[in-house]
Structure formats: C-alpha cells, structure tokens
Amino acid sequence: MRQLVGNLREGVYVTDLDGRILDANAAFLEMFGVASLEEMKRYNAYDLFVDPEQRTRQLDVLIRQGAVRQFEIQIRRPDGEIRTMMDASTTVRDPDSDEVVFHGILVDITDRTRSEEELSRTLSLLSATLDSTADGILVVDGDGRIATYNRRFVEMWRIPDEIVASRDDSRALAYVLDQLQDPEGFVRKVRELYAAPEAESHDELLFKDGRVFERYSMPQRIGGRSVGRVWSFRDVTKRKAAEQQLVHGAYHDALTNLPNRSLFTDLLSRSIGRAQRRESYAYAVLFLDIDRFKVVNDSLGHLVGDQLLVAMARRLERCVRPGDTVARLGGDEFTILLDDIDAVSDATRIADRIRRELRVPFSLGGQEVFSSASIGIALSATGYERPDDLLRDADLAMYRAKALGKGRYEVFDTEMHARAVALLQLETDLRRAVERDEFCVFYQPVVSLRTGRPIGFEALARWQHPQRGLVLPDEFIPVAEETGLIVPIDRRVLREACRQLGEWQAGFATEPPLTMSVNLSAKQLLQPDLVDQIARCLDATGLAPERLRLEVTESAIIDHAEPALAMLGRLRALGVRLDLDDFGTGYCSLSYLHRFDMDTLKIDRSFVSNIGDRGQNSEIVRTIVSLARNLEMAVIAEGVETAEQLALVRSLDCEQMQGFLFAEPLPAGAAAAMITAKARW
C-alpha cells in the first residue's frame, strides 16, 4: 500500500488533530517544496494555511460529520509561495488507541484556478466588448442554433426577447424576413453560406422602412476547423443617406435642383452610345440662354435673379416630355436632352412650347418680370461621338438665334461651325497682328460741296494680313471690339493719323487747314487715359486741337451714357472737334442729342444709298439736315456714290460729303498726291 500511495500524483497525508504531520507521500512533500518527511514534520499543517480561521471551520465540519469533505484552501509554502489546493479529507479513529487522526488527499489546483480566472476575465471582456459595440453580433453553431448575441443585435432587428432567448435561429430568421425588401435574397444568401462553412461574405440589406444594414459573415473556427458562423450587422442608414446627398449634390445644381453639367454630359454620352448601336434612335439637345438676364440682376438684385432661374427651371420642366432631361449648365444657361425623337419637328415643337410658356410674365416677390430665351438646337443626325461637340454646336446655334433678334430658336447646321472656326482663326490672327503691328491707315477725303476740294480726311484702319493681303474693317472690327483688341488698334490709328496730318500740314499749305477724323470705339471712349493719349499725340505732332475730329457713334454713347458724356466733356475742354457718326441708325433721343454738344452730324450711308434717281426716299436725309441746322451743327453725308445722290445732298445744303463718287480710302501716298494736285470735284 505504501508503494502504491507513493506512486500517486496527488498528495496523501495523515495528521493528528493538532495538525502535526504523521505521514505523507512524495507528491505531498513536492507540493510543499520540502525534501523529506522528517523536514516536513517540523511544520504544523495548520500554520501553513493562508487563512487560519479556515482551519477551525474545516475541523468543525470534519469532526461533526466524519464523512469525506472537500475544501479549497490556500497554503503558504516554506519558501513563501502561495498555492491553491483542493483538500479531500476525513477523520479516522484508531481502534487500538482510540486516537482520532485526519487522512487526506491534496491536489494542487493553482494552475487550473489561474486558467479559470483568466477564462472568466476573457469571457467578461468579450461580453463587455459585444455589448459596447455599435454593431449587432450573432453567433450560431454548426447546427444553426444561436450560440450567443449582443444587445445591439436584438435592438437593431427588433426581435422579441423570448424568440432570441430560445436560441432557435430559424424562429429569429422567420421574424426578421418581413422587415426586408428582398426576403428571398436574404434566405438564399444564408443558405449559400451554411452550405459553404469556410466562405466569408459582405453585402447590404435594404429594409422596407428605409433602413440600410451592412452584413458581414465569417466562419468561427476552433483548431482550424469551422464550428459555426459569426454574423455582424452595421446600421449604415445615415451614412448611405449622406452619401446619396453628396452624390446628388455632385450631379445636381444647388439652386434649381436640376441635373448639372456633369450629369447632363453623362446622360448625353449614353444617348450618343444608343444612337451608335441603334440606327433608328434619334435625340436632340436644346441650349437655352435667358435674354437680358444681366438687366434683371442689375436692376432687381441677384436674389430676384436667382428666383427667376428657379422659376425658369420649373417652367422648362413643364414643357418637356416624361423621360426628357432639363439641366442647368451654369449662370443663365440651360440645356434639354430630348430622348428618342422621330424628327426635327419634335425638337422645334418643344422650342415653340418654351417660347409660348415664357411669354407669361414671372411674378417674383411682387414684381412682374418678363423674360425670353434664345434657343439653339443640335440634332443627333449629325453623327456626334462626344458630348462636348454636341453642346458646342447647340451653343453656336443659340448664339446665332441671339444675334438674329433673341427670343427665337435656330437649328445648327455645318455652316455655323465653319463660321465659328473661321472666327476663332480670325481672332488668333488678329491678336498676332496687334503684336506684330500689321495694321496700316488709309485716308478717305472729306469734300467741301462748296469748293469741291478735300478739306480733311477720315483715318480708316486696314489690316495687312501676311497671307490674305489687305483685310477690310467690316471683317475684323466686330471681332476686335468683342475681344477688346480694338483699343490698341484705335491707339495705333490715332497716333499714325496725327503724325500723318502733321507731316501734311508741314508740307502743304491748304486753306482752310486740313482736318483729320479718327473713329473712337465704345471701349476706347471709356478708357480713363484717353484724354492724355490724345494730348500727347497733339503735342508730339504739333497739331492744333481743332484740327483733330473725333467720331463717336450714338450707340457707343447711349450704352454708357453718363461716363461717355463725362468723357466727351473732357475732350471738348481739350479743344478737339466732336462728330456724331452713323446718325439715325441707333435710338438716340433728341434730349440726348442736345446734351452731346457735337460739332457735326454724319448722315449714315444707308440713308444716302436709298435715294433714287429722282430723289425718292430723301425725306430722312432732308429731316436730318434740318435738325442739324436747328442745332447749329454741320452735316456730312456719307456714302455718296452717284451723281443723283450728289445733286440731292447739294440741293439740301449739306456742307460736306464722303463717298466713292469722289474717292475711296487711299494710302497715305495717294492721299498726299490728291492734296498736291489740289483736286476739285
């Protein structure tokens, strides 16, 4: 028996009631860290208890009950280490001596206790983590039964406690299906994952009430083997709504809520693709620009301007068919994509409908605002491959409509594009011409009808193009005015004209002294240093100010009335003479004409050219001459080309005239020869 007990891994001991060690096996000695029984007998077992009172409680139980009892105790070994033991002991009475002793078996459970404590801490941490996460977590075992879940899972899925507490996955699944937009897809995905235990998954779930969950699923593994599945659910409803709002904002105009350029271009790309795949498919783009929108902003303010844009957007939406797209490109520009049309008449019918709709005034903050739009139409029949090309051509057609009178529509044709390309090339060449000083000045005589001799010249710009030769003003002046290049061109003409007149004045004695007329564009008229420029030219050439005549069109003055009138006053103070050019072609009122304080009225060539062989249609010329007389202004008739026109203007007592009948614009040398010859008409 001693040999058998000696081989046990558990500690076996015998003590008396006072705690003295009477006998023990090797395992017991090893547990206490002593080498022999004799050494162990020096210790009292009760003194090794960490909790001395436990001894009293344990003794009481053993003596009263006598049966084998188990106790978990902590002992302090002689080396000071504390170990946890499971003590199974009982009282035994010696029949010979009637002495009571304790027999016991001791098991060291220190490591097991520590593992259990660590496991308990881990489980507590896991439970706290699950309950604190914002995601709903569900864990099922290999048989599909619920193993564990957190509180968030129950809240997110709104599952009654009794269902989830049943641990029956099928009951919980049946409860949630009614909440989903696609319950069949949900079940199909669950079955697929249960059939593939090692598979992982991530997808989205859409609820009938508008919620959106992200669903993650991955296998639960123990020892490299799948034993269940972990489901994680995240409520991303707010994030998805924010993303949708961002996407909407990226592709829609903030003011009108219409599609913006990006979205419109994308939709147009799709229409182009359909047209390339389907021969029968056709579409059209309408490009709209609100006429005189700047007037609304300047007069009523940008707030009312924004209200007009919103109201315009709503009206345009009413004018199109379901499936068509109205977009705002920016500013006061709108576009419309007409999808799947049969003919160009479908597009023009929509354009007519828009024009009719816009005839009704807008009521904006108690203010009635009338508006119209210029519309350009581009058709898919042209065979476009890029959205930008189609928008470009619709834009060109819109500008054509605006140039022809606004409030109308024009359908794009290839000639418009050719003109646009030519115009762009002309602008490029014009900029180079300014840099390279390719401009020269021609001079057209101003003839006295009393003497028949030149009394002055009008300086006219000519462009000596390196490839095209001499380019006339009618071709390049409008582009120069639009681009602002007219300012440096006008300065060049002014300097050269003053220099040339100074040279003629020094070389030829004429009576009266020759004058030089120079045209001022609207942009040059508003240049703040204009007076200084002219003063420097006069000083450099020695010209008397009254020898210089500045010609200004009435439209240039009316468009910027107050600053233009102020500049004319400064020029008048300088001493130069002022002529009103193209009189009668604009909308000058008599009150303005009186304020202009001009020296001369120039009758536009359009009135003179309408005079017939027998003086027909001469009433306007007669009226202008009479008006000039009453205002004590001189009169120059432009465009005199026939003897009949000459006879009429002479009979109306015009003092001066210009026209091809006398001479076309001449280079400086030819003009000087005319002065030398003292030509007379």
Q: How confident is the model at residue 614 (pLDDT cuts 50, 70, 90)?
A: low
Report whether pLDDT(77) > 70.
Answer: yes
**Weakest mean pLDDT among 29-38, 411-420, 469-478:** 411-420
pLDDT in tens, 638-656: 999 988 888 888 888 888 9
Site of tokens 């003292």:
678
Give whole-number Cα distances, 509 to 69, 504, 549, in Å: 148, 8, 19
For residue 613, the model assigns a pLDDT of 62
For the range 154-160, what are the long-range contacts, defined as Cβ-Cβ under 8 Å and sequence gap of 24 or more?
156/213, 156/233, 156/235, 157/233
Top mean pLDDT of 5-14, 388-397, 477-486 is at: 388-397
For residue 619, the model assigns a pLDDT of 83
The better pLDDT of the pair 548, 560 is held by 548
Q: Number of helices and strands (H, E) in the chain? A: 27, 26
Q: Specify whether the CB–CB gap between 581 and 558 falls below 8 A.
A: no
Q: How confident is the model at residue 224 (pLDDT cuts 50, 70, 90)?
A: confident
For residue 253, the model assigns a pLDDT of 92
For residue 500, the model assigns a pLDDT of 94
pLDDT in tens, 460-498: 999 998 888 888 888 888 888 888 888 999 999 999 999
- Around Cβ 474, how many Cβ atoms within 10 Å? 7
> Which of 415, 336, 321 has the alpha carbon at shortest distance from 376?
336
**Weakest mean pLDDT among 190-199, 302-311, 329-338:** 190-199
Average pLDDT over residues 414-433: 79
**Residue 464 and residue 468: Cα distance in Å, rounded?**
8
Report whether pLDDT(575) > 90.
Answer: yes
For residue 311, the model assigns a pLDDT of 94
For residue 325, the model assigns a pLDDT of 95
Interacting residues of 593 by C-beta distance below 8 A, sequence separation 6+ = 554, 580, 631
pLDDT in tens, 201-222: 999 999 999 999 999 988 888 7
Report whether pLDDT(502) > 60.
Answer: yes
For residue 564, the model assigns a pLDDT of 85
As a whole-number percent, the residues of the chain with pLDDT over 70 amount to 93
Q: How confident is the model at residue 65 (pLDDT cuts 50, 70, 90)?
A: low
Average pLDDT over residues 24-49: 83
DSSP assignment letter at 546: G
**Residue 273 and residue 265: Cα distance in Å, rounded?**
12
Report whether pLDDT(33) > 80.
Answer: yes
**Residue 567 and residue 572: Cα distance in Å, rounded?**
9
Report whether pLDDT(239) > 60.
Answer: yes
**Weakest mean pLDDT among 255-259, 366-370, 592-596:** 592-596
pLDDT in tens, 80-103: 888 888 888 787 877 777 787 878
Average pLDDT over residues 307-330: 94
Report whether pLDDT(584) > 90.
Answer: no
**Weakest mean pLDDT among 158-162, 416-420, 547-551:** 416-420
pLDDT in tens, 442-458: 999 999 988 888 999 99
- Around Cβ 87, how many Cβ atoms within 10 Å? 20
For residue 681, the model assigns a pLDDT of 46
Average pLDDT over residues 41-70: 72
- By three-state DSSP, how is residue 650 classified? helix
Report whether pLDDT(309) > 70.
Answer: yes
DSSP assignment letter at 175: H
pLDDT in tens, 242-257: 888 888 888 899 999 9
The model's pTM is 0.55
Report whether pLDDT(326) > 80.
Answer: yes
Phi, psi values for residue 188, rounded to 5°: -60, -40
Report whether pLDDT(587) > 60.
Answer: no
Report whether pLDDT(63) > 70.
Answer: no
pLDDT in tens, 520-546: 988 888 889 999 999 999 999 889 999
Alpha helices in 214-260 (DSSP H): 237-251
For residue 5, the model assigns a pLDDT of 77
376 DSSP β-pair partners: 287, 410
For residue 665, the model assigns a pLDDT of 93
Average pLDDT over residues 149-172: 81
Average pLDDT over residues 146-165: 83
**Weakest mean pLDDT among 324-328, 345-349, 482-486:** 482-486
Average pLDDT over residues 156-173: 80
- Around Cβ 605, how many Cβ atoms within 10 Å? 19
Average pLDDT over residues 576-605: 76
Q: Specify whether the CB–CB gap between 388 and 323 falls below 8 A.
A: no
**Residue 407 and residue 399: Cα distance in Å, rounded?**
11
Q: How confident is the model at residue 373 (pLDDT cuts 50, 70, 90)?
A: very high
> Which of 141, 111, 116 has the alpha carbon at shortest distance from 31?
111
Average pLDDT over residues 612-640: 82
**Residue 364 and residue 9: Cα distance in Å, rounded?**
99
Q: How confident is the model at residue 588 (pLDDT cuts 50, 70, 90)?
A: low
- Whole-number mean pLDDT of the chain? 85
